Structure 1
């Protein structure tokens, strides 16, 4: 049995702690998390492997996205293989149009068997009516062109070009 803490990425604390069977696959975990936060579980979603600092890594999509063969998907990933230890983490993104983002953290693993799982054992906070706005900022990369302003090449200046001529 796994005890998992799921935290919604919002300004206010919105947390669910859930108990699930250790033989669960990630597709069932996706549905459990979505429903525990009041969603129907019908939107596209992905889990992302992460390190202890929550740096986003490999994607585990809801469905196999490979054109040929069997690729990774939530259905093929078992909880006990994906998160084998206490403090293992995943990032969960639900509904790619709204980008509800959750932090999933294993807080306890036991050999106990319990009836009636999955089960929510702790609820903190209310889910906002709209997903928090996400800001994606890329690192500034050196493109190899230097810091020159617009430079004219062998074609001349584009500012002098008469676009109405055509």
Structure 2
């Protein structure tokens, strides 16, 4: 069978590639197809992440074994597409180059019979130009962390700092500068 994926760059602009690949190929083969489809050099590390229908990231599937014991951690080469993704579990997240964090949403769009004379993987469709740099990712609680910073603001100026002297009284215990490391 042929798996047809839509691979969407996580950016405001519509930038995606449609890729057809055999169900007996591995996630590493899909990684290579994505790298080629988007014009990367393939020299950076990458990982797939399982996810739910809302794209909530779950288990990492790395390109290379990064575990403490060699051979203990499964890699992309160990996951056959037909055993990993299907009509119900049809989404996976792909991250390429962990310094720049190129992030893609990969969705299985169709499962079809292979076409005679087609070499797989096959780039079916390309839409949008790749930006020169990876899109900025907003990590955190959607701006809510900005509200927290104001909570600790103080209005002390140089004159107010005079109220602090060299000796400190905390909880009834005296501390002076010589007790501080």
Q: Look up the match of 2:157.
A: none
Determine if contact 1:4/1:17 at 8 Å carries over to the other structure: yes
Work out the number of aligned pairs and report it.
Answer: 154
Give the alignment's TM-score, normalised by structure 2.
0.75
Aligned to 1:132: 135
Looking at secondary structure, tell me which structure has more helix per residue: 2
1:84 to partner: Cα distance: 2.2
Partner in structure 2 of residue 42 of structure 1: 43
**Aligned equivalent of 2:64:** 63
TM-score where L is the length of structure 1 = 0.82
Aligned to 1:161: 177
Unaligned runs of 5+ in 1: 141-146
Q: Distance in 1 between matches of 2:172 and 2:128?
A: 63
Q: Is the 8 A contact 1:7 1:14 kept in 2?
A: yes
Per-residue deviation, residues 21-76 of structure 1 (Å, max 9, x unmatched) = 11110111101101100102121000000011000000000112222242121010
Q: Please point out which of 73, 87, 95 is paired with 1:85.
A: 87
| 1:106 equivalenced with 2:108 (yes/no) | yes
Runs of 4+ in 1 over 6 A off after TM superposition: none
Q: What SS does structure 2 have at the residue aligned with 1:28?
A: helix
Q: Which runs of 5 or more structure 2 residues have no equivalent in the other structure?
A: 145-150, 152-168
RMSD: 2.7
Higher-Rg structure is 2
Cα distance in 1 for partners of 2:48, 2:67 equals 16
Residue 154 to residue 117, structure 1, CA distance change in 2 (3 Å)? farther
2:98 counterpart SS class: coil
